[in-house]
A = this chain, B = another copy of it.
Amino acid sequence: MTESFSTLRINPDRMLDTFNQLALIGTTGDGGVNRTTFSEAHLAARKWFREQIKSSGFEFKTDGAGNHSAVLTCGRSNVQTLLIGSHLDSVPKGGRFDGALGVVAAFEVLRTVKENGISLKLNLEAMDFTDEEGTHLSLFGSSALAGHLHPDDLKNPYSGRENFAAGLARAGLTEEGLLQAKRSKESIAGYLELHIEQGKRLERAGINIGVVSAIVGYGSYRMSYLGRADHAGSTTMEDRLDAGQGVAAFILEVRETVMRDFPNCVANVGKLEFVPGASNIVPARADFLLEFRSPDANQLSQLDLTLTELAEQKAKQFGLQLKAEPLGKHLPNLMSSEIQNAFQKSCHDLGLSSTVLASGAIHDAQSLVDICPIGMIFIPSVDGASHAPREFTRWEDCVNGANVLLQTVLRLAAE
């Protein structure tokens, strides 16, 4: 990379102006946005992005999955494309940074490269992937682009078949189109994404940039403890088979076990309900969801084994039966070490501190891991807030992240 590239910086004011325009689309009025996939607000944000792309003189590209992008071609034929981006959809009543900042930063990188007339050896493309948050199907835009979407995946969307079909129609998309959005492995040079951390590690350590090593793998189970519904007045404590006792002991010990034996991992019992659920009936059943994550495949298996054994052990301890149905398992996705190195060099040259960390959340990058090298950076989230209107990242940190993204794109794509 020549010296001139290393002094190049994105335009913070232009990026802020763009970011703020976007944050008004579907605003909840308290700093958050409500842009679930194919909602009116989401469609408005997509329209706004198309207009931004065209008015800034980029080629607008879309596909059967509704992925949108701004394309900056290098002018050569038969070259690969480096994808940079994130997503414009949000969770219900989500924050204005999650996803949106990554799209705005990618777009700002393209504008900076274009206006400086940088000579490239790769095409650049600033992406908005459809439905990262899974209003309908988690990561479906990026999965479709990677060719991983299967007709069976469309049969049981989170939103229900009817809402999914109506959403596709509103966006002018079809199921046939989704399954034809695949791009060839040969056409993609890599994928880079800037995202807020959604945790407190960077903020607490006072570090500017997190270079992501992996997206953690996860496993999840639908579990039930089965006891017996007795009258809670006339049945002595000794005579009960109380499903609530089993799940309570399990919840406490899951936390202790993970903190003691799996320090890089997390686990959560996020949903729990007692059946029949009356104040005067001993819980006959406790239905709950267990989820756990690890950045390492072997550790994930070990954690899986440990927690399912623990669940069995608590069933025995309280005379209960355990039902456990695996819901999903996803191995950790490793980021390209070459891209990690490039990010770290960019941080160093920009005078920014960096650390390597795993992403606990899923991201579009993992959809692409089989077709190209992937890389991500995180910037600090104030108080670790995420998926809520109080989600916030200082603008200085956003600018730092965008400059790391710019410098790394130049390292990989400039002549």
Shortest Cβ distance from residue A415 to the other chain B in the assembled complex, whole angstroms:
37
Kindly list the 7 A-B residue pairs having the minimum CB-CB distance in the complex, ordered from nearest.
A233-B360, A232-B268, A234-B360, A248-B251, A248-B248, A199-B234, A279-B289
A259, A274, A280, A361 interface centre (most CB from chain B within 10 Å): A280
Q: Does A235 contact B (CB under 8 A)?
A: yes
Q: Is A160's beta carbon under 8 Å from chain B?
A: no
How far is A250 from B271 in the complex, measured between Cα atoms in Å? 18
A154 within 8 Å of B (CB atoms): no
How many angstroms from the CA of A304 to the CA of B242 in the assembled complex? Answer: 21
Spot the interface stretch: A27-35, A42-50, A102-110, A383-391.
A383-391
Tell me the minimal C-beta distance from A378 to chain B in angstroms.
Answer: 9
- A200 and B236 contact, CB distance less than 8 A: yes
Is A147 in the interface zone, CB < 8 Å from B? no
Size class of the contact patch on chain A: 35 or more
A291 contact set on B, CB distance < 8 A: 232, 279-280
Question: Within A239-259, which residues are at the interface with B (CB < 8 Å)?
Answer: 239, 242, 244-245, 247-252, 255, 258-259
- Are B384's CB and A235's CB within 8 A? yes
Q: Is A205 an interface residue (CB 8 A)?
A: no
A to B CB contacts below 8 Å, 12 in the list: A198-B233, A198-B234, A199-B234, A199-B239, A232-B268, A242-B255, A245-B255, A248-B252, A270-B278, A273-B273, A273-B277, A281-B387
A216: Cβ under 8 A from any B Cβ: yes
Interface string of A278-316 (1 = CB under 8 A from B): 111111001001110100000000000000000000000
